[in-house]
Amino acid sequence: MTHIRVAAAQYPIEQVQSFAAWQEKLTRWVEEAAALGATLAIFPEYAAMELAGIDPERAADLTASLDLVMQFGEAYDRVHAELAARLDIMILAGSRPVRESDGRIVNRARLFCPDGTTGHQDKIMMTRFERERWGISGGDSINLIHTPIGPVGISICYDVEFPMIARAQAEAGAKLILTPSATDTMQGYWRVRIGAQARAMENQCFVVQSPSVGMAPWLPCMDENFGAAGAFGPPDGAMPDDGVIALGQANGPAWVVADIDLAMVDQLRADGTVLPFRHWPEQHVPFHIIQNGAGSDVIAQMASDAARDDAPAAPQIEDQEIAE
């Protein structure tokens, strides 16, 4: 399958009164995506945190809200798995906090396929809020998820601003990178979007972003949410001049739908106007620092960490092919 339709949610963070009310909301959203003909529905980063609204007192506390939402973890996953199977649609669930066996809490996005298989990616790079105030830890592996539409990578929000994460996934075979995001300013949204478009350009692949939207003053960890869902590709060939395949109107709830032909990735990587995916290794050369001294230029050659002979080992990719 190379022709797919992706639906990226501009998902509103709302105060649900019960798990059943949340389940009803999610079901409505996924049913709408399926009715639009979507092969894949994508929800944003930390969308699970709206479950904290079940207990307003705990929702108001950064630590207590995490503990509460983690209690719903298995049920949260089960609802997504059932919807994926019933509606024959792949679902990237909104990421949720997960406590690891060593006590660390990570931010995990899990992809559910209609056949019951799943795979996940933990966010690697923590923002200042996550690391300094919220106690969230970075993941320790970059994963490639095998799905009915081919290998897929996930770069959660801040992760997509760092090129080597998506690069590792693309080199391992991903033609599609999913970017769930949660940003509390439009500047934050633009940082993620610029990162998403940069990763699409340099890897000659597709990147799809899904943001949380709306005001949630009752939930300090996600009280303000700004952004627009979008699907991006490299600005080359039959792609749009700006690389923007689809884009929502910012800050309101909506599905943003894009039709994508994954075969275009192979075509552009083989015979694009430029070939950044193929030419990527050529940037790994030694660099020089040119210093002015005693009337003449003194050139000090320094071995770059990225030099061909001394380059660090490539990031390890974990293949995820079966239900976990």
Q: Which candidate in 50, 123, 130, 175 is catalytic?
A: 123
* DSSP per-residue codes, 110-152: EEE-TTS-EEEEE--SPPHIIIIII-EE--S-EEEEEETTEEE
CA–CA gap between residue 228 and residue 251 (Å, rounded): 6
Handedness of CA 99, 151, 111, 74 (dihedral sign): negative
Q: What would you report as the CA-atom Rg of the chain, rounded to the nearest whole angstrom? A: 21
Q: Which two tokens stand for residue 313?
A: 């080992």
- DSSP H helices, the chain, are 19-35, 56-59, 62-71, 73-87, 128, 163-171, 186-203, 263-271, 276-279
Is 318 a known active-site residue? no
In a 10 Å sphere around its CB, with 0-12 CB exposed, 13-18 middle and 19+ buried, how is residue 318 labelled?
A: middle
Q: What are phi and psi of 53, to 5 degrees?
A: -60, -15
Q: Which candidate in 113, 130, 157, 221 is catalytic?
A: 157
Is 45 a known active-site residue? yes
Cβ neighbours of residue 85 under 8 Å, at least 6 residues apart? 114, 115, 116
Is 123 a known active-site residue? yes
- List, by residue number, the catalytic residues: 45, 123, 157
